[in-house]
């Protein structure tokens, strides 16, 4: 055996020359794979300017040096790429999406909390968007709540002050204004912490609705985040 079974770290051989090369290679792999942080799981073209030590999950359709390594972790080292095959049950963090991931069956599963032997499980996820508020009494977003999910609540932060004749605002869904908060502040930095009294199931993609109180919106921007649970199906 010339490497370890889990992290595939190279092992020193008897009477081996240049031992430091092998040891340093092992250190580099440990440095990248321990407390694993992935820069992306959607970039298919190897980034030429990637810094040493960065790691990526190689998605389907990868090109260049990543071709043929789909489902593996690409490690930037020595100006090139080394690869590691994640074992089922490895966990990491996906930096560009801000979500924890679980590896199983060659896939990088977002937010997966449980995972049965046939792939069924629960995923805890956040759908986040920055909403530029249009002039008017109400503003309805694009659908942000995914279909067939259980929502625990919605949080929000005013990133650009809400202007207009309003004195406050509400955050909810069409047909349910203020579900996640009312009397909310308009200044930059104001927030909503819309924790529901009990989780609510949504069976179709659903938008959020911002309603002005005491007047109308003229402009502003709000960062919103939907906190939800999704079921994953067992494999065929």
- Report pLDDT digits (tens) over 103-124: 998 899 999 999 999 999 999 9
Q: Say yes or no: 135 and 206 in one domain.
A: yes
- Give the closest residue to 173 by CA, choosing from 148, 142, 199: 142
pLDDT per residue as tens digits for the range 117-170: 999 999 999 999 999 999 999 999 999 999 999 999 999 999 999 999 999 999
Q: Say yes or no: 54 and 132 in one domain.
A: no
- CATH number of the domain that residue 203 is part of: 2.60.120
- Look at the block and give the residue holding tokens 């625990």: 152
154: its two tokens? 């919605």
Which structural domain range is residue 142 located in? 125-232
Express as a percent the part of the chain with pLDDT over 70.
100
pLDDT per residue as tens digits for the range 33-86: 888 999 999 999 999 999 999 999 999 999 999 999 999 999 999 899 999 999
Q: Say if 138 falls within a structural domain.
A: yes
**Total count of residues recorded for the chain:** 236
- Look at the block and give the residue holding tokens 């190897």: 46
The rounded radius of gyration (Å) of the Cα atoms in the chain is 23
- Identify the bridge partners of residue 108 per DSSP, sorted by sequence position: 103
Domain count across the chain: 2
pLDDT at 145: 98
105: its two tokens? 């069956």
Q: Say if 198 falls within a structural domain.
A: yes
pLDDT per residue as tens digits for the range 5-27: 777 878 888 877 888 777 777 78
Inform me whether the pLDDT recorded for 32 exceeds 80: no
Q: Say yes or no: 162 and 220 in one domain.
A: yes
Confidence of residue 1 (pLDDT cuts 50, 70, 90): low
Q: Say yes or no: 92 and 164 in one domain.
A: no
């Amino acid at each position: 055996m010339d490497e370890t079974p889990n992290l595939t770290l190279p092992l020193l051989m008897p009477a081996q020359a240049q031992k430091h090369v092998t040891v340093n290679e092992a250190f580099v792999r440990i440095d990248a794979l321990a407390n694993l942080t992935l820069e992306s799981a959607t970039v298919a073209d190897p980034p030429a300017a990637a810094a040493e030590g960065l790691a990526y999950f190689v998605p389907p359709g990868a090109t260049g040096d990543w071709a043929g390594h789909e489902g593996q972790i690409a490690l930037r080292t020595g100006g090139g790429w080394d690869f590691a095959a994640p074992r089922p049950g490895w966990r990491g963090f996906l930096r560009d999406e801000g979500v924890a991931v679980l590896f199983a069956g060659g896939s990088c599963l977002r937010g997966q909390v449980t995972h049965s032997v046939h792939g069924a499980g629960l995923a805890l996820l956040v759908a986040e968007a920055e909403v530029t508020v249009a002039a008017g009494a109400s503003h309805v977003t694009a659908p942000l709540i995914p279909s067939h999910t259980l929502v625990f609540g919605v949080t929000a932060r005013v990133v650009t002050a809400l202007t207009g004749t309003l004195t406050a605002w509400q955050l909810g869904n069409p047909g349910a204004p203020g579900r996640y908060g009312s009397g909310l502040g308009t200044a930059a930095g104001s927030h909503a912490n819309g924790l529901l009294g009990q989780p609510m199931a949504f069976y179709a993609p659903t938008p959020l609705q911002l309603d002005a109180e005491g007047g109308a919106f003229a402009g502003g921007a709000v960062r919103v985040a939907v906190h939800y649970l999704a079921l994953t199906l067992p494999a065929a």
